Amino acid sequence: MPEEKEIFFDDMWGELLRGKADSKHAFRYVTLTTIGAENWPSTRTVVLRDVDKETQSLYFFTDKRSTKIKEIESNNKVSLLFYNHKKKLQLRVSGKAVLHTDNKISEQYFEHVRQTDLKDYRTINPPGTALSNGKPEYYNKEKAAEHFMVIQIKAKKIDYLKLDREAHQRILFELNQENWQSTTLVP
């Protein structure tokens, strides 16, 4: 990759790492799109939990009974959308999802889930179930681990767009075998 594009590439991963580390960073909240029933795109907000540049991986937590997991199980091709208004930076990530439950990865992350967040994984009925009395009921805390799932998204393609008054910068980064290749695009 040419040096000038390497700078954008490193800057992009740096921003993603900041999104994971800083709860106030714009990249903390990400739009995840999956392909749902009858091929309808299905979109929702999720929290960026971890980033690993070496394995091109972005990590998210969810309840394994949620609709998004059924969708990923039938089609693991997903898309992520990041936007940082202050930096006028948009990233569109295409990748493949790998699901982790009852393994070392899910156990490791589960240890760090905040007590107050455990409720997200211990509703008696799966997320999205219609409620008759308006309030969900919860299992005891032990059940949270059973429902907890880690979504690892391995990026294959990242469309980087930085808006600038003088000239916008758009670069397509694509993973070819083990190497990232870059192509400058018309914004």
Ligand X SMILES: Cc1cc2nc3c(=O)[nH]c(=O)nc-3n(C[C@H](O)[C@H](O)[C@H](O)COP(=O)(O)O)c2cc1C
Residues that bind ligand X (CB under 6 A): 29, 42, 44-47, 60-62, 66-68, 127-128
Identify the three-state secondary structure at position 180.
strand
Residue 29 Cβ, how far from ligand X at the closest point, in Å?
Answer: 5
Q: Find the shortest distance in angstroms from Cβ 173 to ligand X.
A: 25
Smaller CB separation from ligand X, 14 or 128: 128
* C-beta of 6 vs 102, nearer to ligand X: 102
DSSP-based three-state secondary structure for 145: helix
Closer residue to ligand X in complex, CB, 11/120: 120
Distance CA 67, CA 81 (A): 19
Residue 109 makes CB contacts below 8 A (sequence gap 6+) with 49, 50, 59, 61, 148, 150
d(CA 78, CA 30): 12
Least distance from ligand X to the Cβ atom of residue 41, Å: 11
In terms of Cα–Cα distance, which of 36, 175, 49, 158 is closest to 106?
Answer: 49
The minimum distance between CB 65 and ligand X, in angstroms, equals 9
Say whether 108 sits in a helix, a strand or coil. helix
Closer residue to ligand X, CB minimum distance, 45 or 177:
45
Residue with Cβ nearer ligand X (60 or 173): 60
For residue 11, the minimal CB distance to ligand X (Å) is 25
